[in-house]
Structure 1
Amino acid sequence: MAGLDDLRNAAGVEFDFAPGAQVPLSGADSGRTGVSHAIASVAYRDGDPKDICEPNDGASVKEGRFSLLEPNLGEAFTRAVETRMLGEKRKPLIQSFGAEPQTVVEHALAAKRIRRLRDRRLTVIMLVCGVLFLPGVLIWLGLFQLRRTIAGSQDRRAGVLGMALLVLLTALIIFGALRLPVDGVLRIYVWSMLPAPVIGWFLAREICERTAKQLRGQWKSLVGGGGAGAVIPEAVPRNPNDAEAERLRVGLARLAAEQRSNLVYYAGPKGILGMGVRWASWQLAEELRPKDEGRDIDPFRSWDVARAMHDQLRLLERGPLHTGGFSQPSITHWVVRHVGEGASEVARPEGPTADGYSFSNIEVQRICNEQQFGSGDRHYLGVQFVQWDGELVITMMITVTVLHRTLRIEVTAHALGPVHGFFRKGPEAKKREVRNPLRPWRKEEQELPLVTPQEVVRLAARAPLTWFPGRLDKLGGTLSLPEPFGLRHTWATTPWRNRFMVDDVLRTATPVLRVAHAAAVRVLAEHGVDVSAFENRSQVLSGLVQTAEPRQADEYNL
């Protein structure tokens, strides 16, 4: 339990021995459930795992040893999310601005629970029809594996020669079983060796069909804008010695703590991970000159200016007219770290200045006042608006630097667009056209079962191995998520294709810029600085910002 204690301390949670522990509920922030539910819907989907590579080719699928044991999209995504976001020795995560990662993880665990209940029933069928009639099961599995090898895993036709070979092998096996020189009970066993797995297959098909309808119902509900909170009773410890449940509960708490971290990463042309690329920037840089001759300015620090901006920006949602205006922004003092464009991993805050997954307030002030030139982390004051139900994240980052006698205030604009349309796709009914037997000139749509015969065999073959996920990963294959991984920015697209999103992004810049400049000028005036040059420059920038256009400043193609 020593490792569990370390995990609990890192997450900042303690074990509660009191009764009445609650199941974690998703959707803590109603303004972000749209994107969270869209991403979470992948955990309930079927299909090819390689489909997840469409929104981001950084994801990769590693094939296993047996195609019969390979996972579908939902199974692979669920396993990847659980391993990547709840693993004990996992890499740090990027914050998911505009989404709730805990909601996605909870739905992934709920989808796993639904499949686990199905696999328990399939395991019983495999034990009865598989262990007692093991030779017959091995023969049928061998034939299905041969068919998948010939036709592929996505239910393509095996071809004339392939089908002829399968029919010939099946006929030879049946003929050989009937001609074996055995009598009595052994003969009955040999003759039932092949049909018994078929009976088990019919039972398994009913179980798989019911589960497929349940999973698709959850998928449709989440994509359609509904969806109830995920049910995860496994996350509630039943007693103080329930290590697995406690580990899961602490993992969810650690995920929430990491989401609140004040450390973000600048990845070169990719912009700030989780916030998007920088599309514009404005600088106000003037000399610090005393207002009164013969008297120097009163000393102050960069933090004094940044703090004054913070207090004024909190009033952005208020205005002289009742016209709607801004929603409540999130204002945070960020520590920004450079990681490079090709970085595959980021680092957490470490050392005595770290407070969990964040830097302490004293360290943030020190970085703001001292680390303005050379290597090291930098301080930025961020103003963030999450709009369009989490589809649009607008972030304005402000930094204050003083080099020699020049004070510079730089405001940069970042935008993160909606998630890829792949996550908005709903389930499609499986149908085919058939001719009416009474009216052959008419064609009718016939609804097909959700689970094909080949899929039933795949699920039944995987079911006993789901109790050994590590072994199943090697035999069936795994899905690797893009790194550095964050649920929101990994699958984000550009907002510039939506006219109203563009308007929201552009309209945010001018008020934020003016409030930041006004707060800075007030602090400078209070400390005896001649603010005439700052005011003139601020008015010029106030005019220029009104002509701001979407640009990709981080690619330097202005």
Structure 2
Amino acid sequence: MGAVVAGDEFDFRPGAQVPLSGAAGQTAATNALASAAYRDSPVTDLLKADNEWHKSKIKAPRLSLFEPNLGEAFSRAVQIRLLGATRKALIQSFGTEPQTIVEHCLAANRIRKERDTRLTVVMVLFGLLFLPGMLLWLAAFQLRRTLAGAQNRRAGAFGMALLVAVGVLAVVFLIKLPFTGFWAVYLRAMLIAPVVGWLWAKQICERTAADLRDRWGGLLAGGGIGAKIPEAVPRNPSETAAEQLRQNLAKLSAEQRSNLVFYAGPKGILGMGTRWGSWHLAEDLVPKHADKDINPFRCWDVVRAMHDQLRMLERTPLHTGGFTPPTVTHWIVSPVGEGADEVSRPTGEGIETFQVKPAEIQRICNEQQFGSGNRHYLGVQFVLWDGQLVITLLVTVTLLHHTLRIEVTGHALGPVHPLFTSKPKAKTREVSKAVKFWETKEQTLPLVDAKEVVRLAARAPLTWYPPLLEYLGGKLSLPEPFGLRHAWADQPWRHRFMADDALRAATPVLRVVHQAAIQVLEENDVDTANFGTRSGFLSGQVQGAEPKKADLYDA
């Protein structure tokens, strides 16, 4: 999709405003994913969070000194993928607010950019003016990182010894040099100036690291500091970049609300999780009276009755907790290949701001039931556990010859991977006590160690030209087709209560669907005896529902 310009179909919010973040009931999953923007762990940790269907890719760095950490790589990748001018279609992130996650990525990038601005000044004053000495120190640190990364303890120890040797060489140069005059002074300054710059850079990095960790912990605690993105608020008509960003955020929200989803074979409906259960009711339409035909009706009439009944699922004759209010939506499902690396959203008269119009939905429901083309599903969706569990039950009605077929399928999207819910921990190590040397104690370490300061300082000047930085340090490629939720979702069956919620939701929904369908059939003079018998059998069968890989047809 091309860049958004002022006045297009997505410019629907009056005035310049920063979008509000966080929807009620969906904060846990949203905040967990947003916290990745502030993390300082290795970028390779993200690979552990990938599920069996969706895999991230990390381009190996050419120089490990320029390698990004998880927060840097994640924020950059999400910003480019979701807000870039040449962005591809996105998969909806049910149970989360993608706009909030993107806002935190933008906020994290802005904080790091401010830090890198200060570090660039330090590098100019204490590095560029004393370039030979800075290159010598950088080479020592790079060699140490390379050797430390090897699967050999001796190599790591040699890297540390090399760094110490460079320090000793610097001291020797300070004491006695073969040169006199200006070059003697410059050579001494050349070796000591990068060390002074490193001390200044360490203070800058410590302050920023503390700020990022506060935001990381605050999000997982359920609150924290909101994402501030002043660059998305145009102050005058000439600020085209801010206006573009504002409209891209609006476009992201519109795509999240799309009623078009994609079915990718065994992967299930992208964004809803794999299909774990399926129940079918199929019987012939027989007139109730032998001397009278049935009244003509269409599939849409049956679906509309189901829609009205499903909206009242939260009502119960007893004063108990019961269902939370569900979201009942008419979905249009488009088939894509199992190995598709991108999807495309259709455009045309039947589409408006990523939404399939009601008239087109009704046409697909009645006419596209066999052969190629998109299909219509009526979905009832429950977002539970603060967005960590999304239960979706889809209903489709088809009429072929004299057979009316009603199918109900269950889809469950589990919680985000525990990587995203891990809180920041203080960096500590065990050391022996001074007097009672046989006892140990925990010593708190600085948030940013020496090699991390060097890495951040070396990257800082190159952050102004990201392609070069990605060429040297590598980058993160997000799994495609990309959505901010389904790629890092676990199966809900590992959590007892989540699994129970998914299984319990199927029975009431199935019964409401059948009752609504039978009511429409009776109103149109259809003999419902066989439908009632089959419905009773399914109602008993669904009580023993167990999760299985229904899309693999191994039941």
Q: Map 1:93-108 onto structure 2 (within 5 A).
A: 93-108=90-105
Question: 1:147-174, CA deviations, whole angstroms, 9 ceiling, x for partnerless residues?
Answer: 2222239998854444444455565577
Whether 2:76 is the aligned partner of 1:79: answer: yes
Shift in Å at residue 175 of structure 1?
5.5
- Measure how far apart 1:49 and its partner are: 0.5
Contact 2:38 2:213 in 1 (8 A): yes
Name the amino acid aligned to 2:233.
V
Q: Does 1:183 align with 2:181?
A: yes
Please give the alpha-carbon distance, in whole angstroms, between the structure 1 residues aligned to 2:151 and 2:424: 17
Structure 2 match to 1:377: 374
Structure 2 partner of 1:552: 549
Which range moved further: 72-81 or 169-178? 169-178
**1:26 aligned onto 2:21:** yes
With over 3 angstroms needed to count, the CA separation of the structure-2 counterparts of 1:551 and 1:457, relative to structure 1, is same
- Indicate yes or no: 2:30 matched with 1:36: yes
Task: Provide TM-score, normalisation by structure 1.
Answer: 0.94
Identify the match of residue 399 of structure 1 among 396, 400, 403.
Answer: 396
Q: 1:233-248 counterparts in 2 under 5 A?
A: 233-248=230-245
Amino acid at match of 1:24: P
CA 1:330 to 1:157, structure 2 compared with 1: closer, same or farther past 3 Å? farther
In structure 2, the partner of 1:317 is: 314
CA distance in 2, matches of 1:34, 1:163: 42
Distance 1:497 1:380, change over 3 A: same
Is 1:278 aligned with 2:268? Answer: no
Moved more, 401-410 or 218-227: 218-227
Q: 1:474 to 1:96 in 2, by over 3 A?
A: same
Partner of 2:118: 121
CA distance in 2, matches of 1:362, 1:470: 46
1:461 maps to amino acid: A
Question: Does structure 2 retain, via aligned residues, the 8 Å contact 1:285–1:407?
Answer: yes
User: Kindly tell me: are residues 421 and 3 of structure 1, through their superposed partners in 2, closer, same or farther at Cα, counting changes over 3 Å?
Assistant: closer
- Counterpart of 1:446 (choices 433, 443, 463) is 443
Aligned residue type for 2:17: Q
Deviations, residues 244-296 of structure 1 (Å, cap 9, x unaligned)? 21121111111100000111111111111111122211111111122233322
Pairing 1:76-225 to 2, within 5 Å after superposition: 76-152=73-149, 158-168=155-165, 179-184=177-182, 186-225=183-222
The answer on whether the counterparts of 1:25 and 1:230 sit within 8 Å (CA) in structure 2 is: no
- In structure 1, stretches of 5+ residues that fail to align are none
Name the amino acid aligned to 1:398.
V
Q: Which amino acid aligns with 2:42?
A: D
Deviation at 1:519, TM superposition (A): 1.2
1:189-236 Cα offsets, whole Å, 9 max, x none, are: 332111111111100001101111111111112223332421111111
Q: Is the 8 A contact 2:144 2:156 kept in 1?
A: no
Q: Distance in 2 between matches of 1:495 and 1:14?
A: 37
Deviations for 1:412-452, whole angstroms, at most 9, x for unmatched residues? 11111111111111112111222222333332211111111
The reply to whether residue 429 of structure 1 matches residue 429 of structure 2 is: no
| Aligned equivalents of 1:132, 1:212: Cα separation in 2 | 27
In 1, the alpha carbon distance for the partners of 2:93 and 2:364 equals 24
Is 1:24–1:232's contact at 8 Å kept on the other side of the alignment?
A: no
Report which stretch shifted further, 396-405 or 528-537. 528-537
In 2, distance between residues paired with 1:228 and 1:322?
39
| AA at the equivalent of 2:328 | I
Given the superposition, is the C-alpha separation of residues 307 and 134 from structure 1 closer, same or farther in structure 2, using an over 3 Å criterion?
same
Among 295, 298, 307, the alignment partner of 2:295 is 298
**1:15-42: CA deviations, max 9, x gaps?**
73xxxx4333321x12011011111111
AA of the residue aligned to 2:31? H
Match of 1:252 in 2: 249
Q: Which moved more, 1:69-78 or 1:415-424?
A: 415-424
Does structure 2 retain, via aligned residues, the 8 Å contact 1:349–1:359?
A: no
Specify which of 44, 64, 81 is matched with residue 50 of structure 1.
Answer: 44
Which amino acid is 1:266 matched to?
Y
Q: Which amino acid aligns with 2:10?
A: A
Output the CA distance in 2 between the equivalents of 1:402 and 1:504: 32
**Contact 1:432 1:447 (C-alpha < 8 Å) held by counterparts:** yes
Taking only the aligned residue pairs, the percentage that are identical comes to 61
The alpha-carbon deviation at position 107 of structure 1 amounts to 1.0
> Using the alignment, how far apart are the partners of 2:156 and 2:404 within structure 1?
74
1:503 corresponds, among 500, 503, 512, to: 500
Checking the alignment, whether the CA contact within 8 Å between 2:299 and 2:366 is kept in structure 1 is yes
> Paired residues, what number?
550
Spell out, residue by residue over 1:453-491, the C-alpha distance to the aligned partner (whole angstroms, 9 max, x if none): 111011011111111122211121100111111111111
| Structure 2 SS opposite 1:409 | strand
Amino acid at match of 1:26: S
Instruction: Give the letter for the 1:427 counterpart.
Output: P
Q: Distance in 1 between matches of 2:397 and 2:48?
A: 40
Task: Specify whether residues 309 and 508 from structure 1 end up closer, same or farther in structure 2 by C-alpha distance, changes over 3 A only.
Answer: same
Alpha-carbon contact 2:145-2:159 (below 8 Å) kept: no
1:11 equivalent in alignment to 2:10: yes
Who is 1:530 aligned against? 527
Aligned counterparts of 2:364 and 2:151: Cα–Cα separation in 1: 55
Whole-angstrom distance in 1 between the partners of 2:205 and 2:448: 7
Deviation of 1:394 after TM superposition, in Å, equals: 0.8
Q: 1:156 to 1:45 in 2, by over 3 A?
A: farther
Q: Distance in 2 between matches of 1:3 and 1:507?
A: 45
Structure 2 unaligned segments of length 5 or more: list them.
none
Secondary structure of 1:30's aligned partner? coil
Shift of 1:335: 0.5
CA-to-aligned-CA distance 1:307-363 (integer Å, 9 cap, x gap): 111111111111211112111101110011111322211111222222121211111
2:271 partner SS: coil
- Contact 2:3–2:86 (CA under 8 A) maintained in structure 1: no
Alpha-carbon spacing, 1:60–1:210, altered in 2? closer, same or farther (3 Å):
same
In 1, the alpha carbon distance for the partners of 2:154 and 2:204 equals: 26
**C-alpha spacing 1:385/1:215, structure 2 compared with 1 (3 Å):** same
**Structure 2 residue aligned with 1:350:** 347
